[in-house]
Amino acid sequence: MPAVSFQNVSKTYRGGQVKALDGVSFDIAQGEFFGLLGPNGAGKTSLISILAGLSQASGGRVEVLGHDVVGDYAAARRALGIVPQELVFDPFFSVRESLKIQSGYFGVRNNEAWIDELLHELGLSDKANANMRQLSGGMKRRVLVAQALVHRPPVIVLDEPTAGVDVELRQTLWQFIARLNREGHTVLLTTHYLEEAEALCGRLAMLKQGRIVALDRTSDLLRGRAATMLRFKTDDTLPAELQAQARVTGRIVQIKAHDASDVEALLAVLRAAQCRVEDLEIGRADLEDVFLEIMQGEPAQQGVTA
Ligand SMILES: Nc1ncnc2c1ncn2[C@@H]1O[C@H](COP(=O)(O)OP(=O)(O)OP(=O)(O)O)[C@@H](O)[C@H]1O
């Protein structure tokens, strides 16, 4: 039985004018660390909201460990630990009180030891008795993670958990989540940080305009799609034939190359255009390259035609 199963899920808004999800189907196996990626507006939040039972699909079916998220809402929700994107919390309680209240909500009692462990693992021990109002944004985010995990859910859903979060918390969070994953918890992560997704997720789905456009093991996506990247810095204007295929960030230029002769051809074009190149390096394509390639709908194989 899959941990999460999306079956032909669709979602429309405004009486069908906006199609946020258009026939999304995939399963996440138990124990997977799964990443859901997509640009702004692709439909990630819509999909997570349906999974969480916060909004209803316009069509299709979603199950968590075999429990339908609509027909069997309570069981599905109990199986999920959801770390929301927004900082929502009750300002009147202390950190520990809020965790106890959340436990009660799931009918869990006498879990003080687990609450202590959560506080410790998330670096919140010395804030246990602090009022939620007094916490910084990063600390509140840690509490949201603790709240999501208080009932030891088998499936953990993290919706952009590291947006605006400092390096220390990211590391603390990922170490802890990776441990829970090793212990058997399934993890579903949405993020805009592609390095995190590349480092953490065994398998990835990419959403574009409400449809799945890629679904594969992370290593296969990296191997199969993009190839080698030529990276350099320049102050000069790129020759026109390279502009279309280059990714330019300030002075940094990245161009895809498939093999050594491709690299030679690229350098020849640059030399002929008297384009001065600094800090030249040739590296492996990363998930960002693959992501952009898929989102731009470029054909998988496209060499230099110089
Ligand atoms: N309540 C709503 N009413 C109308 N349209 C909506 C509503 N919620 C989302 N949409 C639209 O549905 C589409 C998908 O939005 P969604 O928030 O699911 O995308 P996302 O992938 O989570 O984006 P982001 O990365 O920006 O969070 C977008 O076109 C969005 O404008």
Ligand 1 geometric centre to CA of 245 (Å): 30
Give yes or no for a contact between 150 and 108, defined as CB atoms under 8 angstroms apart. yes
pTM of the model: 0.83
Burial of residue 202 (CB within 10 Å: 0-12, 13-18, 19+) is middle
**Residue from 46, 50, 207, 209 to probe ligand 1 pocket by mutation (most atoms less than 8 Å from CB):** 46
ipTM of model = 0.95
Q: Check if 109 has its Cβ closer than 6 Å to any atom of ligand 1.
A: no
List, in sequence order, every beta strand (DSSP E) within 163-261: 186-190, 203-208, 211-217, 228-233, 246-249, 252-257
| pLDDT tens column, 22-78 | 999 999 999 999 999 999 999 999 999 999 999 999 999 999 999 999 999 999 999
Q: What is the pLDDT of residues 211-237, one digit of tens each?
A: 999 999 998 888 766 578 888 999 998
Ligand 1: nearest atom to the Cα of 85: 27
List the structure tokens of 119. 């506080």
